[in-house]
Amino acid sequence: MSDAIIKVESLRKSFGDHEVLKKIDFEIKKGEVICIIGSSGSGKSTLLRCINHLETPTEGEILFHDVPIKNTGRALSEYRTKVGMVFQSFNLFNNMTVFDNCMSGTKKVLHLEKEECKSRAITHLKQVGMAPYIHAKPSQLSGGQKQRVAIARALCMNPEVLLFDEPTSALDPEMVGEVLNVMKKLASEGLTMIIVTHEMEFAKNVSTRTIFMDDGYVVEDDIPQNLFTNPKNPRTREFLKRYMES
C-alpha cells in the first residue's frame, strides 16, 4: 500500500503508428499540485486524458489507490466521479443553466438529495465567484466565467484529484488571471491537482512539483525551485530559455 492517490505505470499511448507517450511513470500524493509543462505535441494533454481514460492507454496501467482502473463499465464511472476534469474548451453543457450544470453530476451520477446538490452548487459557485450567474446559460458567459463555472462543476463532485487540461489556453489574456486566481486559491486550500499548463509563472509559484515533458517522455520531475532555476536536463534548459525569450 503506497500513499499515492494515482499512480501511472509504464504508460504508453499510440495513435496509429505515432507513439505519443513512451513509458510514463509518475504518481501523485494527497495535497500535491503537479504542473506538467512542455511544448505542444509533447504528450501532456494525452497523458492527462489517459489518466481519466478519455483516451485508452495502449500499454501500462493507471492505478487509483493501488487498484488498476478498467477501461469500461461501472468501476470506470465511479473512478471518474473521484477524479474531476477541467477542459481547455470548458465543455459546459450548453442545454443547461450554470446552476443545472453544477448540479448535473451530483444529481444524475451521484444521485444525491436535491437540497444537497443545490447547496454544493451554491457553495462552489461562490468559491469561484460565479454564484450571481446561476440562471445564465453557458453561451451568455465570457470564457473566463465559463471556465470558473466548469471548475465549480467539477468541485461539486468532491473529487480527490482534479485534472486541468490547459485551462487557460482558450482564454483572452485579460481573463487568464481570474481563472489562475481561482486555481491558486484551490491549491492553498489543499486540493490535489494535476495541471497541464503553459503558464510558467503559475507553475513556478503554485506547483509543489513540476514535470517537464518532451517527445512523449517525462524528462524532468522535480520541485519547481529546482526545475525552473537549475534544470538538470539540457532539454529542459533549452525549453525554459525559449520560453523566457518569447
**Structural element, H or E, at residue 108:** helix 98-108
In the bound complex, what is the minimum distance in angstroms from residue 134's beta carbon to another protein? 5
In sequence order, which residues have a C-beta less than 8 Å from that of residue 237 and are 6 or more positions away? 231
Closest to another protein by CB, 94 vs 229, is: 94
What residue type is 130 in one-letter code? Answer: M
Closest to another protein by CB, 27 vs 129, is: 129
Q: Which phi and psi (to 5°) does residue 205 adopt?
A: -90, -30
Q: How far apart (Å, rounded) are the C-alpha atoms in residues 43 and 167?
A: 16
Closest to another protein by CB, 89 vs 230, is: 89
User: Of 76, 186, 92, which Cα lies nearest the Cα of 139?
Assistant: 92
In the bound complex, what is the minimum distance in angstroms from residue 212's beta carbon to another protein? 25
Closest to another protein by CB, 170 vs 200, is: 170
In sequence order, which residues have a C-beta less than 8 Å from that of residue 156 and are 6 or more positions away? 102, 103, 105, 106, 117, 120, 121, 124
Cα 73-166-90 angle, rounded to 5 deg: 65
Closest to another protein by CB, 156 vs 240, is: 156
Binding site for another protein (CB under 8 A): 52, 54, 56, 70-72, 77-81, 84-85, 87, 89-95, 97, 104-105, 108-110, 122, 125-126, 129, 131-137, 140, 153-154, 157
In the bound complex, what is the minimum distance in angstroms from residue 214's beta carbon to another protein? 26
- For residue 15, the cross-strand partners are 18
